[in-house]
Structure 1
Amino acid sequence: MSARPQTSDVVIVGAGAAGMMCAIEAGRRGRRVLVVDHARAPGEKIRISGGGRCNFTNLDAGRTDRFLGANPRFAASALGRYTPADFIARVDKAGIAWHEKTLGQLFCDDSAKQIIRMLIDDMRAAGIDLRLGTAVETYGRSGDRFDLTLSDGSAVSAASLVVASGGKSIPKMGATGWGYEVARHFDLAVTETRPALVPLTFEQGLLEQTTPLAGVAVDAVVSHGKTRFEEAMLFTHRGLSGPAILQISSYWREGDPITVQMAPGVPVLERLKAKKAENGGKQAVHTALSEIVPRRLADTLATREGANGKLAEVGDKVLARLETAVNAWTVKPVGSEGYRTAEVTLGGVATEQLDQKTMAAKAVPGLFFIGEVVDITGWLGGYNFQWAWSSGWAAGQIV
């Protein structure tokens, strides 16, 4: 005879940022909450984020134009009711020191583990049952309750099921598409998913030109259509990375070109012609160009454009080509590094089927989706964490 299932008010699958936030809020309302996660430790994405310092929010994270999805405005309700200032107040109350790095990005002064400890302490205080190293083996709906069996052999019955399992990004940390499977099981649509905030890759011929530049970084403007980002860019052995590239990757699609300015705001041709007029143009072209862009990049571009001599020996048409190579470099990536290095997943559970105030599935009472599993994806720089806090908080008020 099988043991009777444990009864809970709420089962949350996923002990990441959104899941822990939802658990805390529901627990504070007196709800009996069970959080399960197949990982051995909670908040693994929090731990590795921001170089280990956790870029926990962004001062501009209330702006829905900094989010992507079929309907980015869906995020407005949760973001407007639980704001960056609200999470900052929580961090301050926990005594965690932080700083603004750039572009509104907030980081811990010390370690991302402080954020995880804060959330764990809050869950403990709220009486949350946290089970790590535990996967959901089966799930279904019986009447007005959800029945689950877990990998530890136990069974659970709950009035509410919250899917906070994230997307497919960084599979080495155990990321899967489980949340999308749950949505489809309950006949909810899932929009196309793809890696986002991810380095872009080049085909072999182009790589032969750019591989010698691996490790070279520039402050760049990277554009895709009308979308542009002005941040650092890094040449890699596979193609391009750095914040500007990660940002544009969320908008880029296979077959599309991107345009790069590697010395934004600098009149390259004007500078080179002025150098050419000095000292009889005796300075080498690559030397003059290295005063504008890093030396290795200058050497590569001068060689590629056939401008290896002295400035006096090079015509203005060649110098104009160098200006184009520096500030109007149009290149067509062949792909991305995929989910292996993607920070987030673009796409997910279709927002038209969710209540924007509560994150509940409209057609399935008691079923909620929060965080990255939903078709809402933020820019690089703390936006996705704020979406996790806000959507988790919103569901936590009602589950």
Structure 2
Amino acid sequence: MTLAENDYDVIIIGGGASGLFCASLIGQCGSRVLVIEHTSKVGKKILMSGGGRCNFTNLQVEADNYICANPHFCKSALNGYTQWDFIALVDSYAIKWHERDHGQLFCDDSAREILDMLLSECGKAGVKIETRCEVTQITADEGYTIETGKGTLTSNKLVIATGGLSIPTMNTTPFGYQVAEQFGMRIKSTRAGLVPFMFSDWFREMSEELSGIAIEVTISTGKHAFTENILFTHRGLSGPAVLQLSNYWEPGEPVRIDLLPGDNLEHSFLEDKQTNPKSSLRQLLIQKLPKKLVDLLAQRYWKDETALSITEIPNRRLAEIAQTLHHWELKPASTEGYRTAEVTLGGVDTDDLSSKTMESKTQSGLYFIGEVVDVTGHLGGYNFQWAWSSAYAAAKDLC
């Protein structure tokens, strides 16, 4: 099979969130637009996101929610196309949505509605989409010549929206980074982001025993802390708070967990000595934490005191136990890597891109949008908003 047409105003490589949205906007300006996707279907990551309900944006989008070597880079795009703009588009399609914790917005029904909306916008704009289309070579002269498994294509402008390396089962590749390097651009080193922690020490066995239990904690490393749920798994720790922290964690660093955020456990123990003098330490703690967790912590940290009444334990020892629970220190061996990562940290160096247009500073007519760029959002719809905002910035310049 070969492509019927081969000459376009704009070709977009990558049929994910940013690529489809950008294509629809450029097509609405009357340009001839083609989206090339190397896999069998477009929008796969949209469909699997948010447990199948697509956390499509967040009510609280700020530049501080993003990680980038240049913390100011994302401001222009985020201000140019806001969460309110995308919500208005969603509302225009009568897609029902709801807000969850921390301003996260999800479809009531299915992520398929967001993908169908983008495909409808592309259809109305006359955008052509070609799947199973592998790009083998790109050359630039006055425009771009793109060699594919389905023939040779030419375009005046080229947009790279190929995503990162997360979730390799979706056939992710470093293609976008290779294109950037081909045209003299730099790449910030990449690694897995929004990803669970794995352990190889004593905690691995403990986490296996606690697998499936979730609790709200504050987890921190260095200057960064997040208060949300963690989830014990058979490999270590996951859950929203862990995924958030993974973006900032460096290999070899410990993480600290406050198992009872907002509680002053030492003060509570002293009060219990007056009000619950016959209660054991175990009885008091299982009112605050899962029983299994309390028992496993006791085995490791206060085995001799667990059955004693609170009055039999010296205040100094209670202070030590409280300190352990508020400042529980663990040392991850690694993250689970790209296999389960939701995003890729690093990517195309923003110093080589215009923050207003997403155009390369080293190659005229070449644009990079979405996850391929060194801009990574926190968990909670921020990465989709970056996809929409960066796509809009490029489209506005290309129209």
Question: 1:29 matched to which residue of 2?
Answer: 29
Partner of 1:300: 296
Q: Match for residue 234 of structure 2?
A: 237
Q: How does 1:294-333 map to 2 (within 5 A)?
A: 294-305=290-301, 306=303, 307-311=305-309, 312-333=311-332
Structure 1 residues 32 and 5 mapped into 2: Cα distance closer, same or farther (>3 Å)? closer
Aligned AA for 2:329?
Answer: T
Q: Which residue number in structure 2 is paired with residue 284 of structure 1?
A: 280
CA-CA distance at 1:280 after TM superposition = 4.2
After superposition, the C-alpha distances for 1:318-355 in whole angstroms (9 at most, x for unaligned) are 32232122211122211100000010000000001101
**Counterpart in the other structure of 1:384:** 383
Q: Distance in 2 between matches of 1:381 and 1:278?
A: 42
Classify 1:23/1:257 alpha carbon distance in 2 versus 1 (closer, same or farther; 3 Å): same
TM-score normalised to structure 1 length: 0.95
Shift of 1:32: 0.5
Equivalent runs, 1:141-220 vs 2, <5 Å: 141=140, 143-151=141-149, 153-220=150-217
- Alignment match, 2:93: 94
| 2:395 alignment counterpart | 396
RMSD: 1.7
**Amino acid in the other structure paired with 2:142:** D
Equivalent residues of 1:285, 1:302 under 8 A apart: no
> Which amino acid is the alignment partner of residue 324 of structure 1?
Q
**How far does the alpha carbon of each residue in 1:222-268 deviate from its partner, in whole angstroms, 9 at most, with x for none?**
11122111111111111111101100110110011221111101121
Supply the AA of the counterpart residue of 2:299. Answer: T
- Aligned-partner Cα distance in 2 for 1:16–1:368: 15
1:303 partner amino acid:
Q
Which string of whole-angstrom CA distances, capped at 9 and with x for unpartnered residues, describes residues 65-103 of structure 1? 110010121111111010000000000001101111111
CA contact (8 A) 1:301 1:325 kept: no
* TM-score w.r.t. length of structure 2: 0.95
- The amino acid of 2:108's aligned partner reads D
Task: Tell me, yes or no, if the aligned pair for 1:268 and 1:292 is still in contact at 8 Å.
Answer: no
Consecutive unaligned residues of structure 1, counting only runs of 5 or more, are none
**What's the CA shift for 1:210?**
3.2
Q: Deviations over 1:374-397 (max 9, x none)?
A: 000011000000000000111112
Q: Which moved more, 1:81-90 or 1:70-79?
A: 70-79
- Name structure 2 gaps, 5 residues minimum: none
Compute the displacement of 1:284 (Å).
Answer: 3.0
Compared with structure 1, are the counterparts of its residues 4 and 265 closer, same or farther at alpha carbon in structure 2 (3 Å cutoff)? closer
Q: Deviations over 1:30-59 (max 9, x none)?
A: 111110111222111111111111100011
SS for the counterpart of 1:333 is: coil
The one-letter code sitting in structure 1 at the alignment partner of 2:288 is I
- Report the 3-state secondary structure (helix = DSSP H, G, I; strand = E; otherwise coil) of the residue aligned with 1:156: strand
Q: Is the 8 A contact 1:216 1:296 kept in 2?
A: no
Q: 1:48 to 1:320 in 2, by over 3 A?
A: same
Change (3 A) 1:3 1:131: closer
Residues 83-162 of structure 1 mapped to structure 2, 5 A cutoff: 83-141=82-140, 143-151=141-149, 153-162=150-159
Determine the structure 2 residue equivalent to 1:50: 50
* 3-state SS, counterpart of residue 175 of structure 1: coil
Between 368-377 and 256-265, report the one with greater CA deviation.
Answer: 256-265
The 1:41–1:5 alpha-carbon spacing in structure 2 relative to 1, beyond 3 Å, is closer
Distance 1:185 1:329, change over 3 A: same
Instruction: Give percent identity, aligned residues only.
Output: 44
**What SS does the aligned partner of 2:262 have?**
coil
Matches within 5 A, 1:238-277: 238-277=235-274
Contact 2:24 2:127 in 1 (8 A): yes
Tell me the residue number matched to 1:69.
68
Q: 1:303 to 1:157 in 2, by over 3 A?
A: same
Residues 207, 237 of structure 2: 8 Å contact kept: no
